[in-house]
Amino acid sequence: MRVQLTDVQPGDRLAEDIFTEQGLHVLSRGTVIQERDLHRLHQLRIDDVEIERRIAEEEGTTGFASQARLLPYYDDAVAGCELLFKRALEEGQLRGGDVEASFQPLVDQVKTERDVVSLLLILNNRDDYTYQHSVQVGMLSYYLAKWSGWDEEETTQAGKAGFLHDIGKCRIPDSILNKPGKLTDEEFDEVRRHSVYGFEIIRASFGEGVAATAALQHHERLNGEGYPYRLTAERIEPISRIVAIADVYSAMISDRSYRDKLDMLTVLKKLYQLSFRELDPHMTQTFIRHMLPNFIGKKVEMVNGETGIVVMNHPTLLFHPLVRVGDKFVDSSVDRSFEIKQVFL
């Protein structure tokens, strides 16, 4: 399992060779970590390492099993989100206790989860796109706020804002939301209204706080080409910038009625491109910087059909890692036939 260096404990065993960014070998796979090793890794600015699965005394679960234990909490959050959508449609507003009961138990469970990629790979094979997407955006908004240095209260608010960002879609007919073909101009205009609908519902429920702002602005873009008001950078609030990044990432890695999902690493590349004109550059690159280490140790399929394991990220060509294929190592930044097509558990 991949852990941050600050979470490595003496006695943990390395599950990979450790190299510096310059390619110098530091420690070998199988090494039992000692205090002196932690000090050395810290001096070399190595942020995270792959270690063998621990035997968890409290949970009795490790690695993917530990992440899989989150499934009931995730499914409960998705079911709770569906009920929130129905209540918002029927009553025109939400109850704070319902939002808390639907989302907070999942947040309490994912607070210490660092391998977000594995978490998404496990959770992203569910149905009900609209509700699943809301839960994912809530989780990712929570993580991104935390990675951006927000305090715990602000981070929790960001998670809830992400969770509620699409609540306005409760007023959009399913025939439009789930239409497999191209929307008419009138249908597309109606879909775009969901951000205003969401703002109205949340404002009626809780006033004009960060959740209402995020619902209204999460489709605004820094270059002024978003909606509903074509706001430019200086008028888009930080909470909306965070939720926008989480929204784009979750939408692209999910199957939609009109297109198949994209690979998780490919979507990070697209986010990077969007950070130069549409999405907040600092927050987007913070998101990418924290997500990329999670791909190390993952099984991947390349465009040439071969499979391998990601062993190291490239220091500058971020989306072209070093991959072990059988007993050889290939640099996907040099040989583009080894460009990654899909990431697996």
Task: Name every residue whose Cβ is closer than 8 Å to that of residue 154 and which is 6 or more positions away in sequence.
Answer: 145
* Residue range 73-91: mean pLDDT, rounded: 95
Task: Name every residue whose Cβ is closer than 8 Å to that of residue 128 and which is 6 or more positions away in sequence.
Answer: 78, 82
* Residue range 238-244: mean pLDDT, rounded: 98
Tokens for 240, please give them: 């909306």
Rounded CA gap, 343 and 334, in Å?
A: 19
Rounded CA gap, 129 and 169, in Å?
A: 12
For residue 41, name the pLDDT band (cuts at 50, 70, 90): confident
Q: What pLDDT does residue 32 have? A: 76
Instruction: Using the Cα atoms of residue 17, residue 294, residue 143 and residue 282 in order, give the sign of their dihedral.
Output: positive
Tokens for 339, please give them: 């460009």
Rounded CA gap, 101 and 110, in Å?
A: 15
pTM for this model (two decimals): 0.81
CA dist 205 to 33, 86, 163, 195, Å? 52, 15, 15, 15
For residue 127, name the pLDDT band (cuts at 50, 70, 90): low
CA atoms within 13 A on the CB side of 149: 3
Domains and CATH numbers, the chain: 2-50 (3.90.105.10), 63-293 (1.10.3210.10), 296-344 (no CATH)
Decide: 167 and 88 in contact? Cβ < 8 Å. yes
Q: Which amino acid is at 252?
A: M
pLDDT tens per residue, range 245-275:
999 999 999 988 778 889 999 999 999 999 9
Decide: 202 and 99 in contact? Cβ < 8 Å. no
Rounded CA gap, 63 and 52, in Å?
A: 9
Radius of gyration of the chain (CA): 21
* Residue range 314-323: mean pLDDT, rounded: 90
Decide: 322 and 311 in contact? Cβ < 8 Å. yes
pLDDT tens per residue, range 1-38:
788 887 777 677 888 889 887 778 888 887 878 767 77
For residue 335, name the pLDDT band (cuts at 50, 70, 90): confident
Residue ranges in 18-70 assigned as alpha helix (H): 35-43, 63-68
Q: What pLDDT does residue 126 have? A: 60
For the beta sheet containing 328-331, the strands, ordered from the edge strand earlier in sequence to the opposite edge, are: 328-331, 322-325, 307-312, 299-302, 340-344
Q: Which helix (H) or strand (E) holds 79?
A: helix 71-91
For residue 65, name the pLDDT band (cuts at 50, 70, 90): low
Decide: 345 and 299 in contact? Cβ < 8 Å. yes
Q: Which of 31-35, 96-100, 166-170 has the lowest mean pLDDT?
A: 31-35
For residue 229, name the pLDDT band (cuts at 50, 70, 90): very high
Rounded CA gap, 133 and 164, in Å?
A: 10
Q: How far is CA 185 from the centre of its chain?
A: 31
* Residue range 96-115: mean pLDDT, rounded: 90
Decide: 303 and 337 in contact? Cβ < 8 Å. yes
